[in-house]
Amino acid sequence: MVKKLVFITFLAVLVLVGCSQSINLEEHFSLNGTVEPLDAVNQVGEKVKMSDYEDKVWLSTFIFTNCDTVCSPMTAHIATLQEQLQDEKVDVELVSFSIDPEHDTPEVLKGFAEQFGADFKNWNFLTGYEQAEIESFSNTSFLVPAAKLEGSNQFVHSTSIYLMKGNTILEQYEGVSEVPNEKIVEDIKLLQ
C-alpha cells in the first residue's frame, strides 16, 4: 500500500512538473506583433508566402545586397547561427527579406547568400515584391523603417534578428555586433 501511495505521489509530481514546463509566450518574450501577408520568391525563384511559416519557428532579418555597412556582417552572423542550430539539431527556418527588390533578383540573392555559406535547406532569401510592399510590410508588421535614402542606393532598415512563431513576432535580438547566439538558441528550444 505504501509503495502504491509513493508511486501515485511520484506520478502526481511528474504531471505537475510537466504542466509547469509550458511556456507563457507573453511573459517570456518582449514582443507580440503579427506578420502581415506577403508574397515573395526565394533565391531559386520558388514562390513563398508568409502562410508557409504558419506552423513553424523562424528567424527573420532585413537585408539588401548592395549594403555597404551592416548587411554582410548580419548575414555572416546568421550563417554562424545556422551552423550552431544545425549542430544542436534545432529545427528552425531562416528568412532574409530583401528591402531592395528592384536590384535583388533571385540570382543576385543566391550569389550573395553563397558568399556566406548559407544552407538553403532552411534559409530563404526573399524578393519578388514591390518596393512599396516591403516598406509597408516592415513598417506595419515589425514596426521598423525600411526606406531608400534619397539620392543613394542605400536603404534604412532594421538590424535586428526577429524570432517568430507562425505569424507572431516574439522577440528581437542584436544582429550586427554581440549577437546573443546562446540566448537565441535557448529561446528557440523553448518553443519546440
Rounded CA separation 56/165 (Å):
6
The answer to whether 157 is annotated as binding is yes
Rounded CA separation 28/20 (Å):
14
Length of the chain: 192
Q: Note every long-range contact of 33-36, with CB atoms under 8 Å and residues 24 or more positions apart, other chains counting.
A: 33/141, 33/142, 33/143, 33/168, 33/169, 34/141, 34/167, 34/168, 34/169, 35/141, 35/164, 35/167, 35/168, 35/169, 36/136, 36/137, 36/140, 36/141
The answer to whether 71 is annotated as binding is yes
Rounded CA separation 135/127 (Å):
12
In this structure, the number of other CB atoms found within 10 A of the CB of residue 189 comes to 14
- Please identify which residue in the block is written with the cell numbers 537585408: 63
The answer to whether 77 is annotated as binding is no
Binding residue ranges = 67, 71, 157
Binding residue ranges for Cu cation = 67, 71, 157
